[in-house]
């Protein structure tokens, strides 16, 4: 009993240390991203150069994710997380050195973006795979919610701080801020026990007994045995691709079509992060969701409706104030929908996937979720230049809802939650008795 109490006390420490570490590192990363985005646009004035940096942030992590999954399952997750954070610090230190000695350049920024993309992905997979080792099962939802809260809070605060600092201080100050945040995150992570509640059958001794290819095949084979996870992967692939219509179209419609002021546009972006934060707080204090897949299906349908609704101010005439308020509500609601999908599904996956396969499975989920995003951004960028924005959004939203209804059809929901069939049988029996 004494040992159990000590473990629960350590789990509480992990819960808050993990949250603070994520908050600090996310805040540093967001500040850096803000500064670099402004630098690229001011230096080149080119959307292509800006898009190239986005691709540097997405493509490396998509390609390397399967390898990260293999390493995470075969070696110490704590070492991988800390090494990744240390590599982040060194990459920023390298960029700082280049900036001070020879001046900042696009080549240096792109190279650093590629490195940071890789390190954040390795760190993310290691941490995601370790949640059930860091905290007890009863607090997995709270851990996932607090993690999302830290990211959302950083997303809200960092643009404001970045806006105040940019132009007032030099680029090296931004880089030193990020380095300092990264070092603090390393110190916090080094105090955590990643195997406190772990249930791994494979001993981690620093030596892999099977080849990388055999390990990846074993991960894919494990996935094939769980049809629900395969369904979630297909939904992530197709829905993220179709959601590109909103990601590209939202800025295009507000800035180019509706001529919204930059300050108001910034407020709508902030509303999205606030929506995510509010729902993260809600999930951190409520009991665990009973039917996560069914809830995620409903939230996806809600996202599809929001996508289509974003076209409304183009279709009907609205005042500038009404447009601003409308998109504030749209973005806030979208933020809540995304958390309603992500948190319950992540908790469900944490509980269903065996510890020895978590790294490979989560890396495959991440790879598939991001695989078509670059293509979606390029395709929708072209479509918005050729066709009316409202019809692209409405058609994509319809496909979004259709994909959700097909892949998460009632039979799949019942397979995910067999208790639903039992509840219906009991309610039917009660109805017959009356």
For the chain, the average pLDDT equals 82
Q: Cβ contacts of residue 170 below 8 Å, gap of 6+?
A: none
Q: Note the CATH number of domain 1-196.
A: 1.20.1250.20
Handedness of CA 18, 19, 23, 24 (dihedral sign): negative
Model's pTM, two decimal places?
A: 0.76
> Quick one: pLDDT at residue 245?
87
| Comma-separated ranges of CATH 1.20.1250.20 domains in the chain | 1-196, 212-418
In angstroms, how far is the first alpha carbon of the chain from the final one? Answer: 48
Cβ 95 vs Cβ 39: under 8 Å: no
User: What is d(CA 122, CA 107) in angstroms, rounded to the nearest whole number?
Assistant: 23
Other beta carbons within 10 Å of 186: 18
Cβ 229 vs Cβ 358: under 8 Å: no
Q: Note the CATH number of domain 212-418.
A: 1.20.1250.20
User: What is d(CA 383, CA 288) in angstroms, rounded to the nearest whole number?
Assistant: 41
Span 251-277, mean pLDDT?
Answer: 81
Q: pLDDT band at residue 408, thresholds of 50, 70 and 90?
A: very high
Tokens 């990601």 correspond to 247
Cβ 149 vs Cβ 284: under 8 Å: yes
pLDDT tens for 305-349 read 999 999 999 888 888 889 999 999 999 999 999 999 988 888 888
135 SS3 class: coil
pLDDT tens for 218-240 read 888 888 888 888 898 899 889 98
- Using alpha carbons, list the distances in angstroms from residue 374 to 108, 115, 232, 241, 377: 22, 18, 20, 9, 5
Q: Cβ contacts of residue 176 below 8 Å, gap of 6+?
A: 96
316: alpha, beta or left? (left if phi > 0; alpha if psi -120 to 50): beta
């Amino acid at each position: 009993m004494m040992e159990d109490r000590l473990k629960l006390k350590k789990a509480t420490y992990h819960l808050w240390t993990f949250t603070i570490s994520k908050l600090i590192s996310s805040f540093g990363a967001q500040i850096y991203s803000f500064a670099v985005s402004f630098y690229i646009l001011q230096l080149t004035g080119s959307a292509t150069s800006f898009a190239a940096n986005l691709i540097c942030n997405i493509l490396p992590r998509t390609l390397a994710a399967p390898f990260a999954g293999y390493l995470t399952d075969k070696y110490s997750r704590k070492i991988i997380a800390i090494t990744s954070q240390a590599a982040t610090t060194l990459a920023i230190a390298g960029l700082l050195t280049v900036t001070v000695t020879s001046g900042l350049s696009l080549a240096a920024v792109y190279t650093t973006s590629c490195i940071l993309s890789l390190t954040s992905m390795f760190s993310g997979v290691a941490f995601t795979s370790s949640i059930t080792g860091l905290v007890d099962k009863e607090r997995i939802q709270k851990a996932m919610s607090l993690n999302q809260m830290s990211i959302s809070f950083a997303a809200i605060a960092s643009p404001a701080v970045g806006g105040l600092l940019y132009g007032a201080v030099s680029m090296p100050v931004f880089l030193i801020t990020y380095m300092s945040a990264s070092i603090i995150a390393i110190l916090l992570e080094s105090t955590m026990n990643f195997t406190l509640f772990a249930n791994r059958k494979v001993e981690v001794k620093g030596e892999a007994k099977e080849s990388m290819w055999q390990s990846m095949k074993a991960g894919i084979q494990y996935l094939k045995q769980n049809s629900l996870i395969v369904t979630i992967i297909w939904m992530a692939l197709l829905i993220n691709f179709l959601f590109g219509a909103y990601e590209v179209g939202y800025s295009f419609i507000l800035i180019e079509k509706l001529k919204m002021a930059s300050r108001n546009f910034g407020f709508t972006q902030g509303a999205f992060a606030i929506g995510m934060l509010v729902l993260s707080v809600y999930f951190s204090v409520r009991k665990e969701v009973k039917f996560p897949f069914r809830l995620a299906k409903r939230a996806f349908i809600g996202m599809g409706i929001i996508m289509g609704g974003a076209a409304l101010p183009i279709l009907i005439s609205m005042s500038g104030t009404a447009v601003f308020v409308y998109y504030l509500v749209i973005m806030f609601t979208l933020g809540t929908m995304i958390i309603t999908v992500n948190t319950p599904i992540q908790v469900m996956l944490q509980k269903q996937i065996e510890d020895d396969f978590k790294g490979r499975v989560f890396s495959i989920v991440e790879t598939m979720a991001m695989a078509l995003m670059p293509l979606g951004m390029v395709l929708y960028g072209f479509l918005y230049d050729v066709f009316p924005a409202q019809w692209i959004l409405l058609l994509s939203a319809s496909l979004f809802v259709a994909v959700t209804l097909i892949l998460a059809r009632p039979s799949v929901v019942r397979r995910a939650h067999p208790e639903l069939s039992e509840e219906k049988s009991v309610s039917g029996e009660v109805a017959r008795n009356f």
